[in-house]
Amino acid sequence: MTRPPDEVFNQPPPLEDYNSFAEDAPLREALRREGGAWAEESVNEFGALMGSRETLRLGEAANRNPPTLRTHDRFGNRLDEVEFHPAWHELLRIGIANRHHSLPWTTPRAGAHVARAALNMLRHQVDEGASCPLTMTFAVVPSLRLQPELSDEWLPRVLSEEYDARFVPAHLKRGALFGMALTERQGGSDVRANTTRAVPASTREGAGAEYLLEGHKWFCSAPMCDAFLTLAQVPKGLSCFLLPRLLPDGTRNGFQLQRLKDKLGNRSNASSEVEFRGARAWMVGDEGRGVQTIIEMVRHTRLDCAFGSAATARRAVAEALHTCAHRRAFGKRLAEQPLMRNVLADLCVESEAMTALSLRLARGFDESPEDEGQRLFTRLATAVGKYWITRRAVAVVSEALECTGGNGYVEESPLARLYRDVPLNSIWEGSGNVQCLEMLRALRKDAGTLEMTLSEIRAARGGDRRLDEFTDALERELADTSRLEERARRLAERLALALQGSLLVRHAPREVADAFCASRLAGDAGLAFGTLPADTDFERIIERARPKVGD
C-alpha cells in the first residue's frame, strides 16, 4: 500500500479533553485514604477542567509568552512593573477561585490540606509557574498570624477567592498575593549572611513597627505580588518584615526591579533581582527571630515542592503511557513491547510512590496542630520527602521523554517544558543538602521526630519481608551517630524509601507494592528505569496508571 507523503499515521492523539483526576487511580485512592474524601466531587470536577484542551492551552500559552520587565516609562520615570500574558492571569484566577491558596485556612476541617494537595497536583500539571505565587500566598498565613495587627489587615485580602491583577494599593483590591524575597547573592541558602539593613522609621521599634530597608535580594519570587516577606538585619539580628509593593497613598515603595532571571524553566513565572532603597516595611515577629518567624512559611512551601514534583512526574508518565498505548513499532504497540513495558511499569511505580508519600505528608499537616506526634513526623518527613521526591522526579521526566522519542524533545510537546521545569523544586526552598541538614536538625532536636517516622514505617510490619529487612537495616544505620553529615543523603534516601514502601505495602495493589519492594528495597533491579524483575506484573501496573483516552 502506497501512502501519500502528507498522510499522518501511527501518531497518538493528543492527551487532552480528559479528566486528569478520574484517570489517576493512585491520586483518587490517596485522597480518600488520607481524609479528603469529602472533597472528591469538587476535585473530580476540577480534574475535568484541568484536562480540557482549553485549559491545557493556557499552560502552553503562558510559557510561550514569558513575562517582560518594564523598569521605566518613556520619560524616564520608574515603573518597576512586569507584564504577563493573559493566560497567566487566567491560570491564577482559576487557582484562586478554587482556593488553592486558602482551602485549609478557610475550611479548617480534617483532610483540608489533603484536598488542597490533590487540587494543586492537578493544576500544577497544566503549568508550574502559577504554583509559585499561589503557594507563597498560601504559606504566608502561619507567619502573618504571628503579628496580629498585620494579620488583621492582610488576611482578608490573602484569603479572598477573587483574583485582582490591578497594580493598585492593596487596600483597594479585592484580593492580594504574597511573594518572598529571602536570599542574597553572597549567601544563597545561608540567609544569616544577608547584608540588607533595616532602621526604624520612627521612635517605635520591634514587632509590628515600621522600618526602612536598604539592600538587595538575589531572588525575589513573583515580583508583581502585592506584598512580600523579606529578611533584614537589625541590631538584635536577622528579622522578618512585610514589605508592600505600593504604599497606601498609591506611591511606589522603594522596591526596584533590576532584572528578571533568564531561567532554564518555570518561564511563565517571573523571578527577579531587586534593590530596596528606603523601602517601607513592617516587622513580623520579634527582633532577631526572622528565621524562626518565616520558617512556618518555608515549611508549607516545602510541602508544595514535594507534591508539585509528584504532579510533574505524573503528567510526564501519563504522556508516556498515552503515547506508547497508541504508537506502533516493530509490529506491535510500544506498550506491548516487553522492554518498554518494563520501563513504563517502573515509571508507574515511582509515580505512585511519590503521590502516596505527598498526600500522607499533607495529612500530617492536617493533624499536626492538635497532634504533637504528627507535628514531629511532618518536620522530619517533609524534609525527607521534599529531598527525595523532587530529586526522583527529574529522572522520571527524563525517562518519560525518552519513551516518546524525538517527539518529546521538541517544544510542541509538553514533555520538553516539563523537562525544563522539573529541576526547580529540588532547588527552591532549600536544595538537597539543605533538606538533609534540616533532617539532621530535626533528629538532634527531638528524638520523637525519628520515633514518629519509624512508627509510620513500622505500621506495615509483617506485610512484606523485604520491607521488614530494609527497615531493620535502616534502624541499625540510624543508631550509628558517627559522621552523620557525611551520611545524611544516604539516610534521607533510605528513610524516604522506607516511608514509600510502607505506604505501598499497606495501601497499593499487590503488584505495585511487590515491584517497589523488589526493586527499591531488595535491590532486585539496576540503576536505571526499566530494570524491574522479569516476573513483574507489568500489564496490571501499566493499566492502573494509564489514561484511557483515545482507546
What are the pLDDT tens digits along the chain (551 aa)?
Answer: 678 888 888 899 999 999 999 999 999 999 999 999 999 999 999 999 999 999 999 999 999 999 999 999 999 999 999 999 999 999 999 999 999 999 999 999 999 999 999 999 999 999 999 999 999 999 999 999 999 999 999 999 999 999 999 999 999 999 999 999 999 998 888 888 899 999 999 999 999 999 999 999 999 989 999 999 999 999 999 999 999 999 999 999 999 999 999 999 999 999 999 999 999 999 999 999 999 999 989 999 999 999 999 999 999 999 999 999 999 999 999 999 999 999 999 999 999 999 999 999 999 999 988 899 999 999 999 999 999 999 999 999 999 999 999 999 999 999 999 999 999 999 988 899 999 999 999 999 888 999 999 999 999 999 999 999 999 999 999 999 999 999 999 999 999 999 999 999 999 999 999 999 999 999 999 999 999 999 999 999 999 999 998 77
Cell 500574558: give the residue.
85
pLDDT at 551: 77
Q: C-alpha dihedral over 35, 37, 42, 47, to 10 degrees?
A: 90
Q: Choose among 138, 445, 146, 137: nearest CA to 294.
A: 146
Cβ-contact 58, 91 below 8 angstroms: yes
pLDDT value at position 268?
A: 97
For position 9, what pLDDT does the model report? 85
Question: Letter for the amino acid at 530?
Answer: G
* Residue 427: all three cell numbers together: 532547588
Q: How far apart are the C-alpha atoms of 392 and 432, rounded to whole Å? A: 11
Cβ atoms of 508 and 356 closer than 8 Å: yes
Q: How many helices (DSSP H) and strands (DSSP E) are in the chain? A: 19, 11
What cell numbers appear for 38 in the block? 469529602
Give pLDDT, residue 549.
Answer: 86
SS3 assignment, position 55: helix
Question: Residues 449, 451, 454, 459: is their CA dihedral positive or negative?
Answer: negative
Q: Do residues 345 and 538 touch, judged by C-beta distance below 8 A?
A: yes
| Cα(124)–Cα(29) distance, integer angstroms | 19
- The C-alpha cell that represents 194 in the structure block: 544577608
Single pTM value for the model: 0.96
- pLDDT (0 to 100) of residue 301: 95
CB 324 within 8 A of CB 340: yes
C-alpha cell of residue 144 = 502573618
